[in-house]
Amino acid sequence: MALASWREGWLLSARHCPSPNHGARPPGAVIDLIVVHSISLPPGEYGGPEVEQFFTNALDWKAHPYFEQIRGTEVSAHFFIRRDGELIQFVDVNARAWHAGTSHWHGRNNRNDDSVGIELEGLEGDTFESAQYETLAQLCTELARRYPVMHVAGHEHIAPQRKHDPGPGFDWLRLRREVGWVHACFPEPVPIDERTTPPA
């Protein structure tokens, strides 16, 4: 599936579900980081509308006991990849989505400012589907063609004291093989393979 073709920061091949939870990136921000997350609502349940509702401030907080723990939270990601590989976009990539929170990676804080947040439908510690890796690899490749992306990391890497997603069930080596980027683009521990090439 070719993902190319944009309208400003909106990828036309994604289903658009605009979120109000975003803001302007700071002046001079360079979009050079992709942050991979995982989410399911309720936790461990897949296929429902709850994640989309959550990111658009439309979730019924009384619909499940777990939702009381996140009541009133206003968050978003740029993209969400469902278990079947469907790609949904919530925020213009040129804007700042609210996905990283307090964070630090490669010498910089507040990585919401200069990153793209991608949520995978899943539970931290659980495995992910082949269709999700395929869509994620295609999306990473397309983002790197349009923006100066140099690194991919998990939420667990940029906020290690707070977050644990996407967790040990996520196969970083598989993603690296599928995008063909050098080892230095990824968090440790990803085995070194000098046959790969960096983002174009």
What's the residue count for the chain?
200
DSSP state of 1: -
119 catalytic residue (yes or no): yes
Segment 182-195 shows an average pLDDT of 68
Report pLDDT for 188. Answer: 82
pLDDT band, very low/low/confident/very high, at 69 (cuts 50, 70, 90): very high
Residue-level pLDDT at 197: 44
Of the given ranges (50-54, 99-103, 148-152, 188-192), which has the lowest mean pLDDT?
A: 188-192
| Active-site option among 50, 52, 119, 142 | 119
Q: How many CB atoms lie within 10 A of CB 41?
A: 22
Domains of the chain by start residue, with CATH: 6-18+29-48+76-185 (3.40.80.10)
Integer Cα distance of 200 and 195 in angstroms: 15
pLDDT digits (tens, 9 = 90+) for 103-135: 999 999 999 999 999 999 999 989 999 999 999
Q: What is the pLDDT of residues 147-177, one digit of tens each?
A: 999 999 999 999 998 999 999 999 999 999 9
Token pair 């990676």 is at which residue? 105
